[in-house]
Amino acid sequence: MKKEKLDYDGLTAIVVILFGMLYLTMSLKLPKASIGNAMDPIYFPLGLSIMLLVIGALLLIKSDKSHIDRIFKGMKHQTEKEKQVTKMVSFTCAIAIIYGLIFEHVGFVLATFFFMMSILYMTNGKKHLTNVLVSGIFSLGIFALFNYALGIPLPGLPFM
Amino acid sequence: MIEILQNLMGGFVIALQPYHLLLVAFGGILGTIVGMLPGLGPATGVAVLIPITFTMGPTAAMITMTGIYYGAMFGGSRSSILINTPGDGAALAATFDGYPMAMKGKAEAALAISAIASFIGGTIAAVLLVLLATPVSRFALKFGPAEYFLLMVAALSMTASMSKGNQLKGFISLIIGLMIATIGIDAQSGIKRFTFGVLELQTGIDFLIVIIGIYALGEVFKSYSSIADGTKKAQKEFGKIWISKEDWKRSKWPILRSAPLGFIIGALPGAGGTMASLMSYNNEKQLSKHPEEFGEGAIEGLAAPESANNAASVGALIPMLTLGIPGSGTTAVMMGALLMLGIQPGPLLFTQHPDIAWPLIASMFIGNIILAIVNIPLAGLLVRVLAIPAKVLYPIVLGLSFVGVYAIAGSIVDFYLLVIFGLAGFLMKKVNVPTAPMILAVIVGNTMEQSFRQAIRISDGDLGIFAGSTLALSLIAITVISILFPIVKDKMMEKKAENAPETV
Amino acid sequence: MKKKLMLMLAFVLLAGMMFTGCGKEEAGSSASAEAAYPSGNLDFIVPGGAGGGWDLTMRTTAKVLADTGLVENAMPITNKSGAGGGVALSYLQTINGDDKTVVVYSPPLLLINLNGSTEFSYKDTTPLARLIADYGAFVVTQDSEYKSINDVMEALKADPKSVKIGGNSSAGSMDHIQFLMMAKAAGVANLDKIDYISFQDGGATAQILGGHVDLLSTGLGDVEALVASGDLRVLAHTADHRVGEGVLAEIPTCIEEGINGTFVNWRGIFGPPGMPEYAVKYWSETLGKMVETPEWDEACTKNGWDKLYLNSDDFASFLDEVNGEYEGVLKDIGMID
């Protein structure tokens, strides 16, 4: 089954306009400067948001709006592959956030070993030996390289 | 002139001592390794060396640092070509055509031309440094805030041509990049902008995080779709690391043209290798007879920025050596090391410490040769990375990205930013918004705004300052030409195309 | 596939819980730790990037401590840059009571709190010793119309916009404040009208050389080479006595020029808040011994630093005093109320 090629211009334009409005509101709320002209730090962000809004509007006018609707419909009928990619991307982001949360508590080696294992089990499947080897060598090797060869201390193991 | 040659010869005599040769080679290899890791650039490599230099003595220390500096410049593009992950900003342009070349099975030629172009660019720049260091440093001083602003505008206007046929979305990317650059403490007023109470955001978002997020993570996410349906394509056979005659013919002039350009841009404090390589890339794209091949694996699109970025790294030494002003992050670290060794770089360096200055320059030439020799077999080894199946390689790329980002400032907040920019890169590719304008905007955005306001404050609000010098006017002219040239060229191409059938 | 994902998720959660659970380190400070202090690695933190003034100070200190055998433990140096030192400062708060982390700081430690960049202040650290000082220098080009610091001040009194001051730190930080403190002492009104232009990445020196600003406010040590070569002239510096040797010794102080003000760019070593008493004593004494060594003397001469040691207690009261001074200037220009 071949999917028709959709252009995302309309959708992009809408997202860009929303973002531009958000940035505009935040720019207007910036504190006034006490040194020099009070508005100085605000002009540039203000100009940027107006430009973004104008370009967003132009893109919206030029785009084929019927695609927006079709993209949303398409989302409901995603192919297996698309669904899986979305899942893999979300999973990676979730793991990365956990990685960040535990990094300074359990140290680089353990956190990285966990991170690499999780990602490898996702991409490489249940090849236990490869996964353990790659994760282990990577986390220990990079730790040694940074700590001893490069002199960039990474958080070490807990209890040490 | 004779005196310069004599001094340089004296420098060579010292630099060619076996001990010093060994140090250059050691520094070069260490630098190449550091340069390949995403997030780690020459600055880190040189910083690593500082404790070792205590035991070395100033001449040996400087020679080793030069080796590292060069090695990192050579190494930075290895990862750009092989895994689409620039080691540092200066290696960004190497992804544009280097990675497509690797995808088309031409990784060997890509790695070879990158080493060759780096070698030639670095050598030309070293010659220019010997001959022109003082006049170039005086020229760089002519750049006041107004000129810096115009230079940044020129650089940004060039990216407009990079997104041909897609201009609106190119502009969107550009503006969002500039918006990202406004995050942090505004230096002219001291107020915080868009920091959301996050301490780590006060110094702004390091452009390396944006680059690694958009390129490395974006690439990994993209690769998931081929991992999902099992169409992994690991390269099995590898050829010799060399280029064909045809490749050389196409790359020759771009390499030669980009070296002086990179050298000059590099000599401007604060401009640096990233801008030099991007400008030379745009230059070659506009001059090329087949611009449509750029971005699809055109060898000159890799050769030009590689030559420019190595030339820029040599140029960046000028403000440090002749004025004692560090013009880049790396030279700042080198200067710190020199100070710890009790040497004060500045106008008197060459008269007070010729025993350090000249061997340093001589070791640039030697370092270049050694690195070119070392890099060709090393590339033969590195190219095997492509033999690793995607489902193992990409997790490693992810791991490297995170540790690289951590090394920038030792901050976990940067992990989360990396994820955000990775997602942004993935989505931008999906909806066909070009990413290069955004990255350049992140790099130059803050300087551009600050320079504008500095100029206005100096002139008490008079906009005339932007046309107040010959240099400013020339920069305006360059900007106008860079905008008009592609349009005129298109028109001429169209005419040619119309006339062509008639002549048959 | 779904099963696989669930399995992975379970693994992840389990692992995450396990790791965070066992991650809580006991901050043990038993009597035995005290007796054997210091043991194991000591953490030296630089709140800025490699190559900067803090970095140079910390690395030199570590080197002298090691060379003289005063400290035999490993002293790995970590750069925790960001927010003008604020990131490292908030890191210190997370290791309250730790006994083996030390960090280098200078006036920005006070300024980033006063100007509101961070909620933490020097009161949230343990001052251990003041080591060295650099001083503010007011620099013009060789052919500048300003021959003395008083020429500059007179011009500013007549028209606060007439002299454009450049510096490397952002508005409201060191290069800006040190000039305003002298201007205030010289009797210039309208401090908030004076144009200060902030340049990034050390670019201000190039800007004064190119003649794009009229006066550069910077550190005395930063311009030594260009003064020696005759490219730049220092009108005055902010110490209360002549410093250095050679060209530097010829530069008058502001006091000599009739401006009764000083500004010290001090650099000192701090511990995290709540640092145990035995550790404070150890560092105050060890650093006190260090500054007496010939190795330290040599390092100071090389870097153009003025030796200015204060022990832990005196340093703390010194900080209280200068904090009040900085606050006064920032109030005058309206950056804080």
CB contact under 8 A, A105 and C19: yes
Q: Per the CB < 8 Å rule, is B324 touching C226? A: yes
State the average pLDDT over residues B273-277. Answer: 86
What percent helix, strand, coil does chain B show, rounded to 5?
A: 80, 0, 20
Q: Do B346 and C335 touch (CB under 8 A)?
A: no
Q: In chain B, what is the straight-line distance between the N-terminal and C-terminal CA atoms, in Å?
A: 57
Give this prediction's pTM: 0.86
Instruction: Identify the burial level of C32 via C-beta atoms within 10 angstroms of its C-beta, where 0-12 means exposed, 13-18 middle and 19 or more buried.
Output: exposed
The H or E element spanning position B45 is: helix B42-53
For residue B48, pLDDT over 90 is answered with no
Classify residue B139 as exposed, middle or buried by CB count within 10 Å of its CB (0-12, 13-18, 19+).
Answer: middle
CATH number assigned to the domain covering C135-264: 3.40.190.10
- Asked, for residue A102, whether it belongs to a domain, the answer is yes
Cβ-contact B205, B407 below 8 angstroms: no
* A16 and A64 inside one domain: yes
A115, B399 in Cβ contact below 8 A?
yes
Enumerate the domain spans of chain C: 43-133+265-332, 135-264
What's the rounded Cα separation, in Å, for the pair C264 and A86?
Answer: 57
The rounded distance, in Å, linking the Cα atoms of C106 and C174 is 10
CA distance B350 to B331: 17
- How many CB pairs lie under 8 A apart between chains B and C? 164
Contact of A38 with B189, CB cutoff 8 Å: no
Q: For B5-10, which contacts have Cβ atoms below 8 Å and span 24 or more sequence positions? A: B7/B354, B7/B358, B8/B130, B8/B358, B8/B361, B8/B362, B10/B354, B10/B358
Smallest CA-to-CA distance from B99 within B384, B302, B392, B274 is with: B302
Q: Are residues A93 and A145 in the same domain?
A: yes
Give C317-328 pLDDT, tens digit per residue.
Answer: 999 999 998 898
- Supply the pLDDT for residue C272: 92
Distance from CA of C294 to the nearest CA of A (A): 28
Residue A31: list chain B partners with CB under 8 A: 191-192
Q: Are residues A94 and A122 in the same domain?
A: yes
| B217-235 pLDDT, tens digit each | 988 998 888 877 766 567 7
Q: Is A28's pLDDT higher than 50?
A: yes
Q: Is residue A3 part of a domain?
A: no
Question: Final residue of a domain: which of A58, A76, A94?
Answer: A76
pLDDT in tens, C15-25: 444 444 443 34
Question: Radius of gyration over alpha carbons of chain C, in Å?
Answer: 23
Interface of A with B in 101-160 (CB under 8 A): 103-104, 108, 112, 115-116, 119-120, 123-125, 130, 134, 138-139, 142, 146, 149-152, 154
- Segment C47-57 shows an average pLDDT of 80
CB-CB under 8 Å, B186 with C52: no
- Does A121 map to a domain? yes
Q: Please report whether residue A2 resides in a domain.
A: no
* pLDDT for position B232: 57
- The answer to whether the Cβ–Cβ distance between B395 and A33 falls below 8 Å is no
Fold of C43-133+265-332: D-Maltodextrin-Binding Protein; domain 2 (3.40.190)
Q: Residue A116: which domain range? A: 80-150
Predicted confidence at residue B161, as pLDDT, reads 61
Give which of B105, B32, B38, B26 is closest to B74, Cα–Cα: B32
Q: Are residues A13 and A27 in the same domain?
A: yes
Is the CB of B141 less than 8 angstroms away from the CB of C206?
yes
Residue B418 tokens, joined: 């990396």
**Where among A76, A109, A133 does a domain terminate?**
A76
Residue with tokens 């020799």: B373
Given this chain, do its domains C43-133+265-332 and C135-264 carry the same CATH topology? yes
**Contact between C201 and B270 using a beta-carbon 8 Å cutoff:** yes
Distance from CA of B416 to the nearest CA of C (A): 16
Residues A56 and A92 in one domain: no
pLDDT of the residue at A141 = 92
Average the pLDDT over A27-37 and give the result: 82
Residue A92 lies in a domain: yes
- In whole angstroms, what is the distance from residue B52 CA to residue C317 CA? 38
Lowest mean pLDDT among A41-55, C77-91, C168-182, C316-330: C77-91
Q: What is the pLDDT averaged over residues B337-361?
A: 83
> CB-hemisphere CA count at 13 Å for C139?
33
Q: Which of B53, B61, B64, B79 is nearest to B30 (CA)?
A: B64
Residue A79 CA to chain centroid, in angstroms? 23
Is residue B240's pLDDT more than 90?
A: no
pLDDT in tens, C222-243: 888 888 888 999 999 999 999 8
Identify the weakest region by mean pLDDT among A26-30, B55-59, B454-458.
Answer: B55-59
CB contact (8 A) between residue B227 and residue A59: no
**Mean pLDDT over the full length of chain B:** 85
Examine the domain organization and report whether A88 and A59 are in the same domain.
Answer: no
Instruction: Name the least confident of B301-305, B340-344, C245-249.
Output: B340-344
> Is the alpha carbon torsion for B274, B275, B280, B281 positive or negative?
positive
Judge whether A158 lies within some domain: no
Question: In the 3-class helix/strand/coil scheme, how is chain C assigned residue by residue?
Answer: CHHHHHHHHHHHHHHHHHHHHHCCCCCCCCHHHHHCCCCCCCEEEECCCCCCHHHHHHHHHHHHHHHCCCCCCCCCEEECCCHHHHHHHHHHHHCCCCCCEEEEECCHHHHHHHCCCCCCCHHHCEEEEEEEEEEEEEEEECCCCCCCHHHHHHHHHHCCCCCCEEECCCCCCHHHHHHHHHHHHCCCCCHHHCCEEECCCCCHHHHHHCCCCCEEEEEHHHHHHHHHCCCEEEEEECCCCCCCCHHHHHCCECCCCCCCCCCEEEEEEEECCCCCHHHHHHHHHHHHHHCCCHHHHHHHHHHCCEEEEECHHHHHHHHHHHHHHHHHHHHHCCCCC
**What Å distances lie between residue C204 and A41, B326, C222, C250, CA to CA?**
20, 11, 11, 23
Total domains present in chain A: 2
Show residues of chain C in contact with B188, CB under 8 Å. 170-171, 197-198
Which residues of chain C have a CB within 8 Å of the CB of A35?
Answer: 171-172, 192, 196, 333-335
